[in-house]
Chain A
């Protein structure tokens, strides 16, 4: 009386799909690397072997199209394209780091950091004067920009919101973001030439030019950070009978502190490498100048520029010093980025993870 089902239906069969063997893509990428390296050593040239290897990688989507079907093939194709785009974007970064470190590291020495270029001809000398100049000028620019930028953003978020003045300020800040740095330098020069006459060169002028570039960046990043503070916290504070200014100072700013400090640090990193405005208004010199309000002042980017453009004779040592200055500038920017990371790690509100 028993009936046997002739063929048990496997419902899961419909859920399964054909798949490339898991070693498949890896094998193709391995082959691509081998072929690329091999043809490079056979004398095909870097560019051609990379392109050849890349085309071999493209065979994975084709293989997948044959076995797995269209959806998975598209997935693999786009994955390949996105990964290649990432590699392409990484290329200039790695190449800059490589060249600057390899060419700049050989001049780094105690002398390089502690001597100026005063009376130095040929090898020797250092960047002490330019380092001091960069730190002083950027420091003064920060002292000017941070309060102006922070207070502007507080006005925009907490007080102005959508009124006409706030809309105008936002528009003008956006316009300021687009000012070319050379124009900022010319502005600072024109300003100080009006007061002190033509041909003026001052460190503080460089700070003014840099703060013109820095203020919009500070305003924008602080504004974004203040906007992120939940409105509930402001309301909680008001409901406790706390006046608005205390709410801003003691609730909103501490909550946004990490983001604000990060934004400011990145704004500093953005202007510390500016060359053009400083070339115009701060000039360059071979001696140490500690006074922002008197005479020319050397800075790292301008030092690197003038060491390359007028190296003297023999040119070798001067060009090496330019690479050294570039490396030091790069290290300062990376340190600033690191500080920004650490600050946002240690200052952000805890216990929300």
Chain B
């Protein structure tokens, strides 16, 4: 059920400011694609344009095509709300809903849309989602407690459980481990390995080792200069990018000479 993404010549704007220019990239289904690059090069902006979260910001707009299994996300008759139901997202900082219990947080996608579910059915969804997110054993006895009482790593896994409980086709992760300790990070990386059998995963990371550990494909973004838009420099198999980059900028970044 996972879907592939094809981006063709995408320009992303904040008002009149061109933030990301001319990105063309294929993303395969049931794989992990990592975006790496220095700060401010447009990785997160590009990620957010893949589920139309970019346009939530005032004045933000996009030119070009994002095709999900051949369907253009930015076609006139596309409803951004439906797009976001199909393409889930995990954010940099864990953001469970503070007014909801752990149980309700997992079911937030259904509850907020007032979807009616039988108790047994919703119990089932909660258990399945929390198990996939690797959180079930830790929270199964306190599902009625507030989600904000969990530790940072647990909260982030709760957010992942929340994202996958609505059964999206694609999961976007915006630096999901940058606010976490090494142990929580490794738990989430293991989780990404398991999830990729069912979902197409796109992950933004500042951590090159993490990209090397979790991803099948890696895309390197860079700025061509201060005030200039970010660009996709190179994309390829992760081993190839890390061992034999084609572009000098990629090599310089991977070797830690800048960034």
Let me know if B81 and A239 touch, CB within 8 A: no
CB distance from A8 to the nearest CB of B (A): 47
Query: Which residues of chain B come closer than 8 Å to A351, judged between CB atoms?
Result: 98, 145-149
With contact pairs A230-B95, A255-B99, A352-B98 given, residues A240 and B146 touching in the complex (Cβ less than 8 Å)? no
User: Is A238 part of the contact surface with B, judged by Cβ < 8 Å?
Assistant: yes
Query: Which residues of chain B come closer than 8 Å to A230, judged between CB atoms?
Result: 95
Residue positions of B touching A, CB distance < 8 A:
51, 53, 56, 58, 81-86, 88-89, 91, 93, 95-99, 108-109, 111-114, 145-149, 159, 162-163, 166
- Bound-state CA distance A168–B91 (Å) is 35
Let me know if B109 and A232 touch, CB within 8 A: no
- Look across to chain B and name the residue whose beta carbon is closest to the beta carbon of A229: B98
With contact pairs A161-B58, A250-B112, A349-B148 given, residues A239 and B99 touching in the complex (Cβ less than 8 Å)? no
Query: Which residues of chain B come closer than 8 Å to A350, judged between CB atoms?
Result: 98, 146, 148-149
Query: Which residues of chain A come closer than 8 Å to B81, judged between CB atoms?
Result: 241-243
With contact pairs A351-B148, A352-B98 given, residues A238 and B53 touching in the complex (Cβ less than 8 Å)? yes
Let me know if B166 and A241 touch, CB within 8 A: yes
- Bound-state CA distance A45–B166 (Å) is 77
With contact pairs A349-B99, A351-B146 given, residues A239 and B108 touching in the complex (Cβ less than 8 Å)? no
User: Is A48 part of the contact surface with B, judged by Cβ < 8 Å?
Assistant: no
Query: Which residues of chain B come closer than 8 Å to A233, judged between CB atoms?
Result: 95, 97-98
Return the contact of A240 from the options B99, B108, B147, B148 (Cβ within 8 A): B108
- Look across to chain A and name the residue whose beta carbon is closest to the beta carbon of B93: A232
Let me know if B145 and A237 touch, CB within 8 A: no
Query: Which residues of chain A come closer than 8 Å to B147, judged between CB atoms?
Result: 351
In the complex, 23 of the A-B residue pairs with CB atoms within 8 angstroms, ordered by the A residue number, are A161-B58, A232-B91, A235-B91, A236-B95, A236-B97, A236-B159, A238-B56, A239-B84, A240-B112, A241-B83, A241-B84, A241-B86, A241-B166, A242-B81, A247-B112, A250-B111, A251-B99, A251-B112, A255-B97, A349-B99, A349-B148, A350-B148, A352-B98
Let me know if A235 and B149 touch, CB within 8 A: no
With contact pairs A236-B91, A246-B113, A251-B112 given, residues A241 and B82 touching in the complex (Cβ less than 8 Å)? yes
- Look across to chain A and name the residue whose beta carbon is closest to the beta carbon of B86: A241
User: Is A254 part of the contact surface with B, judged by Cβ < 8 Å?
Assistant: yes
In chain A, residues 190-249, which have Cβ atoms closer than 8 Å to a Cβ of chain B? 230, 232-243, 246-247
- Look across to chain A and name the residue whose beta carbon is closest to the beta carbon of B96: A236
Let me know if B97 and A235 touch, CB within 8 A: no
- Bound-state CA distance A257–B97 (Å) is 14
- Bound-state CA distance A230–B94 (Å) is 12
CB distance from A70 to the nearest CB of B (A): 46
Query: Which residues of chain A come closer than 8 Å to B89, judged between CB atoms?
Result: 239
Query: Which residues of chain B come closer than 8 Å to A251, judged between CB atoms?
Result: 97, 99, 112
The 8 closest A-B pairs by CB, nearest first: A241-B85, A349-B98, A351-B149, A351-B146, A239-B89, A240-B109, A232-B95, A241-B84
Query: Which residues of chain A come closer than 8 Å to B96, judged between CB atoms?
Result: 236
Query: Which residues of chain B come closer than 8 Å to A232, judged between CB atoms?
Result: 91, 93, 95
- Bound-state CA distance A236–B149 (Å) is 18
- Look across to chain A and name the residue whose beta carbon is closest to the beta carbon of B113: A242
CB distance from A252 to the nearest CB of B (A): 10
Residue positions of A touching B, CB distance < 8 A:
161-162, 230, 232-243, 246-247, 250-251, 254-255, 257, 349-352
Query: Which residues of chain B come closer than 8 Å to A247, judged between CB atoms?
Result: 112
- Bound-state CA distance A248–B154 (Å) is 26
CB distance from A33 to the nearest CB of B (A): 48
- Bound-state CA distance A232–B149 (Å) is 17
Query: Which residues of chain A come closer than 8 Å to B166, judged between CB atoms?
Result: 240-241
- Bound-state CA distance A247–B96 (Å) is 14
- Bound-state CA distance A340–B231 (Å) is 53
Query: Which residues of chain A come closer than 8 Å to B149, judged between CB atoms?
Result: 350-351
- Bound-state CA distance A162–B86 (Å) is 31
- Bound-state CA distance A247–B148 (Å) is 19
CB distance from B125 to the nearest CB of A (A): 13
Let me know if B98 and A235 touch, CB within 8 A: no
- Look across to chain A and name the residue whose beta carbon is closest to the beta carbon of B148: A351
Using A239-B88, A242-B113 as known contacts, list a sample of 4 further A-B pairs with CB atoms less than 8 Å apart, ordered by residue number in A: A241-B82, A241-B83, A241-B85, A351-B148
- Bound-state CA distance A235–B145 (Å) is 23
- Bound-state CA distance A243–B113 (Å) is 8
Let me know if B85 and A240 touch, CB within 8 A: yes
- Bound-state CA distance A143–B33 (Å) is 54
- Look across to chain A and name the residue whose beta carbon is closest to the beta carbon of B99: A254
- Bound-state CA distance A257–B99 (Å) is 10
- Bound-state CA distance A255–B88 (Å) is 23
- Bound-state CA distance A160–B109 (Å) is 26
CB distance from A115 to the nearest CB of B (A): 46
- Bound-state CA distance A161–B146 (Å) is 31
CB distance from B258 to the nearest CB of A (A): 30
Query: Which residues of chain A come closer than 8 Å to B56, judged between CB atoms?
Result: 234-235, 238
- Look across to chain A and name the residue whose beta carbon is closest to the beta carbon of B98: A349
CB distance from A66 to the nearest CB of B (A): 53
Return the contact of B95 from the options A235, A241, A352 (Cβ within 8 A): A235
CB distance from B39 to the nearest CB of A (A): 19
- Look across to chain B and name the residue whose beta carbon is closest to the beta carbon of A350: B146
CB distance from B216 to the nearest CB of A (A): 24
Let me know if A238 and B145 touch, CB within 8 A: no
With contact pairs A232-B91, A351-B148 given, residues A239 and B97 touching in the complex (Cβ less than 8 Å)? no
Query: Which residues of chain B come closer than 8 Å to A241, judged between CB atoms?
Result: 81-86, 109, 113, 166
- Bound-state CA distance A138–B83 (Å) is 47
Query: Which residues of chain B come closer than 8 Å to A243, judged between CB atoms?
Result: 81
Query: Which residues of chain B come closer than 8 Å to A255, judged between CB atoms?
Result: 97-99
